[in-house]
Amino acid sequence: MPARRTDLDFGVVVVSDAMPGVEGTSLGLYFPTGSRHETPETNGIAHFIEHLVFKGTSTRSADAINREIDLLGGGSNAYTTKEHTCLHARVLSENLDRAMHLLADLVTAGLPEGIGVEVERERGVILSEIRSAEDTPEDLVSHLIDQALYGEHPLAMPVTGSVEVVEKLDLARLRTHYRERLASSPLVVSAAGKLDHERLVARTAELLGGRRTQSLPLASPAPPLQPGRRIVERDLEQVHLSLSAPGVSARDPRWAAAELLSIAVGDGYSSRLFREVRDRRGLAYAIYTSLVSYLDTGSFNVDCAVAPGKLAEAFEVILGVLAGVRDRGIEDDELEAAKQQLRSSLLLGHEATGARMSYLADQVLSGEENLELERDLEAVDSVGGAEVRDLAGELFSAPLALAAVGPRCDGALPGDAFELPG
């Protein structure tokens, strides 16, 4: 049975995929708001609110919310990204109505009077989360590469915010943001598993139909990329290195070619970077590539951790691999292996209710009308070697951003943004 979509007249889109042979259902409420929609003075506010909605509503205390989550079984949680916020649950299908009631309450009746004590408690939790990330080299270098690539744009800001900002966010500002960005904003209700679409639509209309939906201000347009360099010297055993080239946006029709390029270059044991950096030279335990795609921009990233004494050699090898792909593309057998890996990943991931729920929501949030996985599989199959070569030539011809955390970085790395050799 194909996935279904219903657009309701109060700013809510309901999408669902009924999956035979399962007893559970994954349900998510997705809001088009994240750290990209913040300012330096409010950075971290969406993530703060994501925490606070579980700390009480006008009809439920924090203890009552926690107890109901346990009674539902499965579990419920939330997360914030650069571009959206999601509240989600995975339950037995018989509890789907109750899960929808709980999530709807969190986004329509949250931050009630008397929640000030909970705000201060959760502020301490979030400050601990921020400091923990700053103490973790992998997390820190991820934030630094965003700064190096996006400069002063909101996409460079961390989702969790900074200690300085989170310490100053007051309840009045939190409530305003909650009302504007959750309680009255457009949203996507996505579900996958054992369900009835019409019942889900009716339940959504019952619980969310009374909201006064208003249009959200547009996010700042993606900036022209001016890659830079961010280095933090730390007394560590290894240097955590991240390189970032321009990528493709979530709406770019070349997304399949970009995924196949990433797999061939650095995703798997047979990828070029793994063979050259680990197998042939023993420079790093792990090295991998990843794609980050936003609505109107994206990046192609390379990450690894190496001993300080091997940093210069590893850096040179990485640049050589990227330059080779830029100049000559990838071989036919590499392309076919990448296609098989990507197809398997898409199909196996689609067997899980949570992954299918997220897939449907992502399609709607990115403006895609077709909700069927077959469209993506056909896109993967249709990619040819020339398309991958042309994309690599475009992405790897631009200057790259650089970030590193560790000891003795400066002497082994370029002093500013750089281009690949040749």
Q: Which residues are catalytic?
A: 50
Greatest alpha-carbon pair distance for the chain in Å reads 65
DSSP alpha helix (H) spans, 294-368: 311-328, 332-349, 353-365
Residues 6+ apart with CB under 8 A from 282: none
Closest CA to 5 of 157, 179, 163, 189: 189
Q: What is the DSSP string of 403-422?
A: EEEESS-GGGS-SS-B----
Q: ∠210-215-217 over CA atoms, to 5°?
A: 145
Residue 185: exposure state from Cβ atoms within 10 A (0-12, 13-18, ≥19)? buried
**Type of residue found at 66:** N
d(CA 85, CA 73): 23
Residue 319: exposure state from Cβ atoms within 10 A (0-12, 13-18, ≥19)? buried
Residues 6+ apart with CB under 8 A from 181: 31, 33, 37, 46, 49, 85, 216
